[in-house]
Amino acid sequence: MVDVVRAGGHCGEVGRVSELRTVDVAEVEAVVRKLCVEANHELREDHVAALQRGRAAEESPIGREVFDRLLENARVSAAEQIAFCQDTGYAVVFLTIGQDVHFVGGSLAAAIDRGVAEGYSDGYLRASLVRSPVDRVNTGDNTPAMVHYDLVPGSGIELTLLVKGAGCDNMSALRMLTPAAGVEGMKRFVVETIEKAGPSASPPVTVGIGMGGTFDRAAVLAKRALTRNPTGSPSPDPKLAELEAELVDAINATGIGPAGFGGTVTTVAVHVEAYPTHIAAFPVAINLDCHSHRVRSVTL
């Protein structure tokens, strides 16, 4: 038995020899538990700031009233520890793992699910998942988590929890556009999706868009795009940043407004992520998140 394995070659920083890092899955369980409770009770500060910017820009009196109530709800939710929204959602986990990490203490996936079950029970959060779309029996503890794993060089671990409400997830869409449809076709698809969602997605929405990759890759990119921090910060790619600004304007031009009652602010953030794709393809996935945008990240 060896406790430490010397892993040479191209792991971690190129040319360095990195040591295998051992992490007990109990640590992941504890973190997931904590994040489930926090994310459901305390909106991230940057998202509160995005709502405040929306309040300042909104022209409709009813719309401003909706923003005021959302901000008051955020305050009461945190102070009284009452969940921000009754739909405490799917627990979506993005786990980025350095390839020099060795998990011990049992199944990592099972540990994440235990963390979700404990967090949802301890935080008085709603169990909203059914074991099958067919028989629809509630699993009772909001498991399983929806986990996306990414392996990267090094020995770090980053965990992001997105509490994803179903009302807005239901209003999301994916379309396989043609290269000829191009960016203009993509913009039309985004506006069409927002119009179709209307009040049901609980605007002001955060919009995650994944372009490129395959059918499945686009969907995961769109979901991950929602987790960008801070909310509303532009893409580092200037072309995508410009597209994001154009989409914010096009979405707000729909007039749907806060809660769908009419207004000038229908979205507080559009985050676009792009990925290489096929010469024949232009996949576009649009994932909507409601005004209850609940995200937390930690580095382990």
Partner 1 sequence: MTALNLPLTDPAALHAGDSVTLNGTVYTARDAAHARFMEALSAGEDLPFDVAGATIYFVGPTPARPGHVIGSAGPTTASRCDAYSPALVERGLAAMIGKGRRNAEVKSSMLEHGCVYFGAIEGTAALLSQCITSAEIVAYEDLGAEAVRKLTISDFPALVVNDLHGGDLYDDGPARYRRQA
Q: Which residues sit at the interface with partner 1, rule CB under 8 A?
A: 59-60, 62, 65-66, 69-70, 72-73, 76-77, 80-88, 124-128, 136, 138, 140, 167, 170, 191, 198-200, 202, 246, 249-250, 253-257, 259-264, 290-292
Q: What is the DSSP letter of 77?
A: H
What φ, ψ does residue 101 adopt, rounded to 5°?
-95, 135
Q: At 87, list the tokens.
A: 């739909």
What does DSSP say about strands 21-24 and 294-299: parallel, antiparallel, or unpaired?
A: unpaired
Residue 107 or 170: the one with the smaller Cβ distance to partner 1 is 170
Residue 11 or 162: the one with the smaller Cβ distance to partner 1 is 162
What does DSSP say about strands 294-299 and 157-164: parallel, antiparallel, or unpaired?
A: antiparallel
Residue 154 or 199: the one with the smaller Cβ distance to partner 1 is 199
- Shortest reach from residue 293's CB to partner 1, in Å: 9
CB 50 within 8 A of CB 70: no
- Shortest reach from residue 171's CB to partner 1, in Å: 9
**What b-and-e string marks burial along 61-90, b requiring 16 or more CB atoms within 10 Å of the CB?**
eebbbbbeebbebbeebeeeeebbbebbbb
- Shortest reach from residue 115's CB to partner 1, in Å: 18
- Shortest reach from residue 241's CB to partner 1, in Å: 17
Give the Cα separation of 97 and 155 in Å (integer).
7
Residue 194 or 218: the one with the smaller Cβ distance to partner 1 is 194
Residue 52 or 107: the one with the smaller Cβ distance to partner 1 is 52
- Shortest reach from residue 276's CB to partner 1, in Å: 29
What φ, ψ does residue 161 adopt, rounded to 5°?
-110, 125
